[in-house]
Amino acid sequence: MEKRQLGKSGIEVSVVGLGCNNFGALPVDASRRVVDKALAMGITLFDTADVYGNRGGSESQLGEILGPRRKEIVLATKFAMPMDDAGTKSGASAAYIRQACEDSLKRLKTEWIDLYQQHRPDPKTPIEETLRALDDLVKAGKVRAIGCSNMPADQLESAHATSRRLGLAAYVTAQDEYSLLVRNIEQALVPTLEKEGMGLLPYFPLASGLLTGKYEEGKEIPAGTRYARMGRFGERYMTQENWRIVAELASFAKSKGHTLLELAFAWLIAHPGLSSVIAGATRPEQVEQNVKAAAWKLSATEVSEVNRLTAKA
């Protein structure tokens, strides 16, 4: 599989990564089958978070499943989301970052985290305090590189200015929602990533399933699927405009001998600033499907046509 860099970190990862947000909710044997298939298919980036799997479940399962294979992968996790109901274990203060990192290392059964990401901004903590704490972890060898997620472009620019001014570790990646149906980050965030030499790690690359081709407008949602579980949240994606776009994209993919899912991956991978597509999976066959989708290389003309088809009012 194609490999790319995590921004300027020097860390190389597979262009398709494994999102481990389902781990912890899945039985450990089911998660193990997904991990085994991912490793067999050449996936090297495993992305989780302390909060995934009912607060700690995903990291704990990964730590149990990987064992000595830990050294074969690039392990990414996150902090900042609430890890308790009281709200005392959350945010990006220096004290909490130190605690959160130690807790993640213990659950993951590892001595280091390859990419430690701030899951969301913390308006209560000065960015200097956050970056100093993360820089300390890098210097201590507990973290190799740092990243952010869901951070607006202006805050990201401020963070980089702070890192430069104080000589601190800087965010090398940004993990944000990006897909054929959700392209908001192109307006401000993507130009900022390009300016700072950061790598993009898109999550929800399949718009939570709408780009898999398993759903059809006007038909009953299949039982057991993500949209069946999400209820009204699915309405965010199932708009008239999105249904129109999905139909046109499916027709385009079919004309090229490919599926809608393959187009969703190929279009993302065609972006040079992309480091890896974070794709979750609950079954081994989904992992295989995602990896195979990365083999389609879109031409510049095809990318332009897809951009035209997905442009929204």
Answer whether residue 132 is part of any domain: yes
Q: How many domains does the chain have?
A: 1
Report the sign of the C-alpha dihedral through residues 186, 121, 103, 86, in that order.
negative
Which one, of 168, 151, 68, 163, lies nearest residue 117 by Cα?
151
Is 80 exceeded by the pLDDT of residue 46?
yes
Answer whether residue 90 is part of any domain: yes
Q: Which of 52, 116, 203, 215 is catalytic?
A: 52
pLDDT of 254-293, one tens digit each?
A: 999 999 999 999 999 999 999 999 999 999 999 999 999 9
In the residue annotation, 171 being an active-site residue is answered as no
pTM of the model: 0.94
For the beta carbon of residue 55, count every other beta carbon within 10 angstroms.
17
Answer whether residue 208 is part of any domain: yes
State how far the alpha carbon of 176 is from the alpha carbons of 54, 95, 201, 299, in Å. 21, 26, 7, 25
Answer whether residue 250 is part of any domain: no
pLDDT of 201-232, one tens digit each?
A: 999 999 988 999 876 665 666 555 555 555 55
Which one, of 37, 33, 81, lies nearest residue 56 by Cα?
81
Show the domain range for 57: 3-237+261-297
CATH of the domain at 225: 3.20.20.100
